[in-house]
Amino acid sequence: MQEEDPFGIRPGEVAVTLPDRFDAQVYFIGRIRTPWMRRDDCPKNARESDAVCTIEVDPRWAMGLTGIESCTHLLVLYWMDRARRDLMLQAPRHYGQPRGTFALRSPVRPNPIAASVVRLTAVAGTQLTVVGLDCLDGTPLIDLKPYFASTDAVPDAVVGWHAERRG
Amino acid sequence: MQEEDPFGIRPGEVAVTLPDRFDAQVYFIGRIRTPWMRRDDCPKNARESDAVCTIEVDPRWAMGLTGIESCTHLLVLYWMDRARRDLMLQAPRHYGQPRGTFALRSPVRPNPIAASVVRLTAVAGTQLTVVGLDCLDGTPLIDLKPYFASTDAVPDAVVGWHAERRG
């Protein structure tokens, strides 16, 4: 069985020329351990999985975890390092018609940073046990943030194109 | 009136040695226009402000906005380019005791990427009008994502240290 080419382009998709230089740089501060070794194995989104995953923070940053155990949920930022960055219209297989990159949560985007809300179930040293991720095993971690319901939770938010889609 | 030194360190704060190299690079894909020209003018968090802000996306990425107008809310990632990156324990003035960087939403963190949920009120070409930001005018934009209530909204999430704090 062959994996889909992550750098391929589908009918209706549009790529742009990327800028000739970058503007800022990031550190990978740890790794995410998940049960998924290949893109095709990953759940399409985190709702589809109750899998327990592990976030391994590099020891250098250990002290930054002080107090994190008091959070029930975290916002996890990670780097989707296997995706092209130049598509502006994308046609994901499961959605049909092409849509703008900024109207999608696809890993394909100018800055391949994912943001996922997870439930924190345990902290042991620099290892965090969480539920709610859908990324590949080994994905680089770039940030952890406390999730504040007061500013981060908008239960009545609507993504119109998604609510109306026929496939 | 003098601004606080953004690179200063307070009693109880702890800095670490940063890695000697970066791991990945980002593009600034636009700028955020807000009413706040100095750090001391910014609201402490976005709940304190109903200010209307403008997100200006660079024309290169215009097609990526296709369909975004159907979203009531967006997740905005931006680069807090005026903060030091090496503090692991921080003592924000309004909180008192030092806390770990990953238990705080402070701009001071290894990767100074903020994530804010905004309400989208208008789209005109590559300009988005939004409510819910608290950053400095001119802040570099790095990503826009549709906000999905099904995965992003956790109304009962608790940040324990914040709920219990006495100041």
Helices (H), B26-153: 149-152
pLDDT, tens digit (0-9, with 9 covering 90-100), for A119-154:
999 999 999 999 999 899 999 999 999 999 999 999
| Greatest C-alpha distance within chain B | 48
Q: Which of residues 63-92 of A touch B (CB under 8 A)?
A: 63-73, 75, 77, 79, 81, 85, 88-89
Q: Minimal CA–CA distance to A142: which of A57, A65, A64, A66?
A: A57
Q: Do A45 and B151 touch (CB under 8 A)?
A: yes
Distances (CA, A) of A4 to A1, A10, A83, A93, B160: 10, 11, 12, 11, 43
Taking 70 as the threshold, does the pLDDT of residue A5 lie above it?
Answer: no
**Residue A46 near chain B (CB below 8 Å):** yes
Of B66, B75, B99, the CB nearest to A115: B75
Residue of B nearest to A134 (CA): B151
This prediction has a pTM of 0.93
Q: How confident is the model at residue A47 (pLDDT cuts 50, 70, 90)?
A: low
* CB half-sphere exposure, A77, CA atoms < 13 A: 30
From A23-27, B119-123, B135-139, B159-163, the region with the lowest mean pLDDT: B159-163
Give the model's pLDDT for residue B167: 44
Q: Which residue has the tokens 């001391």?
A: B40
A96 vs A134 pLDDT, higher one: A134
Q: How confident is the model at residue B1 (pLDDT cuts 50, 70, 90)?
A: very low
- Residues A93 and A44: beta-carbon distance below 8 Å: no
Count CB atoms within 10 A of the CB of residue A40. Answer: 10
Number of helices and strands in chain B (H, E): 2, 10
Buried b (16+ CB within 10 A) or exposed e, B130-167: bebbbbbbebbbbbbbbbbbeebbbeebbbebbeeeee
Q: How confident is the model at residue A2 (pLDDT cuts 50, 70, 90)?
A: very low
Q: How confident is the model at residue A48 (pLDDT cuts 50, 70, 90)?
A: low
**Residue A121 near chain B (CB below 8 Å):** no
Token pair for residue B142? 């790095």
Give the model's pLDDT for residue B79: 97
CA distance B65 to A99: 8
Q: Are strands B87-90 and B14-15 parallel, antiparallel or unpaired?
A: antiparallel
Q: Are strands B87-90 and B24-26 parallel, antiparallel or unpaired?
A: unpaired
Q: Minimal CA–CA distance to B55: which of B135, B116, B127?
A: B127
Residue of A nearest to B153 (CA): A153
Nearest chain B CA: its distance from A11 CA (Å): 16
